[in-house]
Amino acid sequence: MKKLTYVVVGLCVVYATTALASDAQKLKLKNGREVEKIEEGMDVRSNADLNHRVRKLERAVWELQQQCYDLDVEPAPVIQWTCKVQGLGYKMFYGEGSSKGSAEREAMEACQKQGHEMFCSLQSCSSETVR
């Protein structure tokens, strides 16, 4: 008889736990993950309810940690371009930018401001990773 009582009590606990879990609302995040919505101030009627709520909260904290870890990535490297333009009389003008085109334009504009428009010629461009 005791074994039957334990089985019935065990089945009741399993049923209550699955019933509580099925009532849980799921939220779908932008990245496709589904997370359980945590309700504030839920009624706790028994130790089983309290244990279930603690497990839900622990799972929610774990999911939040995973999202934080996903955000913890290294920033993209920053590339700095430098271009050299030769003007009249072997005078050199330099331009810097985040792209090759912007560095070329800056160097050409510096050359042209000095009145060397006709003699400005691109000599070289190079890039380096800043971080």
Q: Domain locations in the chain?
A: 2-71, 79-129
- Which of 4-8, 27-31, 86-90 has the lowest average pLDDT? 4-8
- Residue-averaged pLDDT of the chain: 78
- Two tokens, residue 65: 């940690």
Tokens of residue 87, six digits: 């003007």
- Residues 43-86: tens digit of each pLDDT: 777 888 888 888 888 888 888 888 777 776 777 789 999 999 99
In this prediction, residue 100 carries a pLDDT of 95
Tokens of 130: 């800043």
